């Protein structure tokens, strides 16, 4: 399973790098994301939707400014929320974030690996116990044979 975990980690890393490259080419998205998020915080909100912030950016760009269609991949939205939390640690829980799907699967695979390891240890313990029982049974059988036959 460690091969699958490495593949998932690689996939997540590639997604992060793709977003970062896009982010560097589109700094206006971050500027608006930060501006609108701080605006939401100033209204007294404790939490808000990072999707709503991105959709406001989309709306303003496409409708209000007649700027044409503006594509922000849905895959990038949570990266902006995480960046906001990193740059504004005093608002580290403003957006309620889920694990990335890769992180969730990796966590489950690691849990399965741990369970398999525990089961393997129990199988070894059980095998050792069976071996001890067999040895004791043979010893008892030999003792009974001595008692019945008087032979050693």
Span 54-65, pLDDT tens digits: 999 998 887 655
Find the domain containing 132 and state its range: 99-152
Rg of the chain on CA atoms, in Å: 30
- The beta-carbon contacts of 16-23 under 8 Å, at least 24 apart in sequence, are 16/79, 19/73, 19/75, 19/76, 19/79, 22/73, 22/76, 23/76, 23/79, 23/83
Residues 89-146: pLDDT tens digits?
999 999 999 999 898 888 888 888 777 778 877 787 778 778 888 888 888 877 777 6
Same domain, 10 and 76: yes
Question: What pTM value is reported for the model?
Answer: 0.69
Of 51, 67, 97, which residue constitutes the final position of a domain? 97
Same domain, 51 and 12: yes
Same domain, 103 and 143: yes
Same domain, 29 and 49: yes
Assign 134 to helix, strand or coil. Answer: helix
Same domain, 109 and 92: no
Same domain, 36 and 85: yes
Residue 5 in tokens = 């975990």
């Amino acid at each position: 399973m460690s091969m699958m975990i490495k593949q998932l980690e690689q996939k997540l890393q590639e997604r992060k790098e793709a977003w970062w490259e896009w982010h560097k080419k589109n700094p206006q998205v971050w500027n608006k994301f930060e501006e609108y998020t701080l605006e939401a915080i100033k209204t007294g909100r404790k939490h808000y939707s990072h999707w709503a912030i991105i959709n406001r950016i989309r709306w303003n760009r496409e409708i209000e400014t007649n700027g044409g269609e503006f594509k922000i991949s849905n895959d990038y939205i949570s990266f902006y929320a995480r960046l906001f939390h990193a740059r504004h640690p005093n608002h580290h829980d403003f957006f309620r974030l889920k694990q990335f799907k890769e992180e969730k699967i990796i966590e489950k695979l690691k849990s399965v690996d741990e369970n398999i390891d525990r089961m393997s240890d129990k199988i070894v313990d059980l095998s050792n116990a069976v071996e001890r029982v067999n040895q004791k049974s043979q010893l008892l059988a030999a003792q009974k044979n001595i008692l019945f036959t008087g032979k050693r």
